[in-house]
Amino acid sequence: MRIDIITVAPELIKSPFEYSIIKRAIDKGFVEVHFHNLRAYALNKYGQIDDMQFGGGAGMVLMIEPLDKCISQLLATRTYDEVIYLTPDAPTLNQHIANSLSLKENILILTGHYKGVDQRVRDKFITKELSIGDYVLSGGEIAAAVLCDAIIRLIPGVLGDETSALTDSFQDNLLAPPVYTRPADYKGLKVPEVLLSGNFKKIDEWRLEQSYKKTQTLRPDLLND
């Protein structure tokens, strides 16, 4: 998989890709991640990429010209399965979307900034819009890192245990059950006996029951889906 990210602040987004699971995925060749500084396509020597919005109002808007130059140049080099714009006024990212995106070959991500991007960019280039929650960030870089992490960890071979991602919360519209490790008894706090029984059928049944109870208590909306 190849992921290209267009950003106003590449130095802000690079750090999450230099550690842990994502870094190992990059080092092992499971994914390529490329950052494109929008200021390289600025209109003038002052690095202008934004302007005031027509009709008045607070906040600057990323201009169509530098974005058109950048996106068009990338589209000329390869075909993208999705061109994604991260914005709070979009459908919320969930596990099912992450699963689907992890199967793609080439993804282009545009991070928003300031008041957003000229609507014509969204109309002309964007194939999918996503939000990571009903709140506003200073820019889309952190949201892009969240999206990439959710996608990359699902690529076969990235996680040490191939089944690990399949048992995560939300995979079956259920939250993950409680997990325990050694010691089995810590100051009177004991691990449920069923997990020590060695009866994997009973363990699976217990985990499913606990997942359902947890989901019913914390996220009943998932059961409606």
Give yes or no for a contact between 174 and 211, defined as CB atoms under 8 angstroms apart: yes
The whole-number average pLDDT for the span 6-12 is 95
Q: In sequence order, what DSSP letters do the residues of 79-109 get, joined into one string?
A: --SEEEEE-TTSPBP-HHHHHHHTT-SEEEE
Report d(CA 22, CA 57) in Å as an integer: 40
Q: Could you report the per-residue pLDDT of 175-220, keeping only the tens digit for each?
A: 989 999 999 999 999 999 999 999 999 999 999 999 999 999 999 9
Domains of the chain: 2-152 (3.40.1280.10), 169-224 (1.10.1270.20)
Q: What is the pTM of this model?
A: 0.88
Give the span between the Cα atoms of 208 and 205, in whole angstroms. 5
Angle between helices 20-27 and 141-152 (to 10 degrees): 70
pLDDT classification of 224: cutoffs 50, 70, 90: confident
Q: Are strands 106-111 and 2-7 parallel, antiparallel or unpaired?
A: parallel
Binned at pLDDT 50, 70 and 90, residue 173 comes out as: confident
The answer on pLDDT for 18 being more than 80 is yes
Among residues 172, 72, 169, 173, which one has the least CA distance to residue 124? 72
- Tokens read off for 28: 């092992």
Q: Is the predicted pLDDT of residue 38 greater than 70, yes or no?
A: yes
Phi and psi of 106, rounded to 5°? -130, 130
Residues constituting the chain: 225
Q: Using one digit for the tens of pLDDT, what is the confidence trace for 128-164? A: 999 999 999 989 999 999 999 999 999 999 997 655 6
Residue type, 160: G
pLDDT tens string 95-135: 999 999 999 999 999 998 889 999 999 999 999 999 999 99
- Tell me whether residue 176 is exposed, middle or buried, using C-beta atoms within 10 angstroms of its C-beta: 0 to 12, 13 to 18, 19 or more: middle
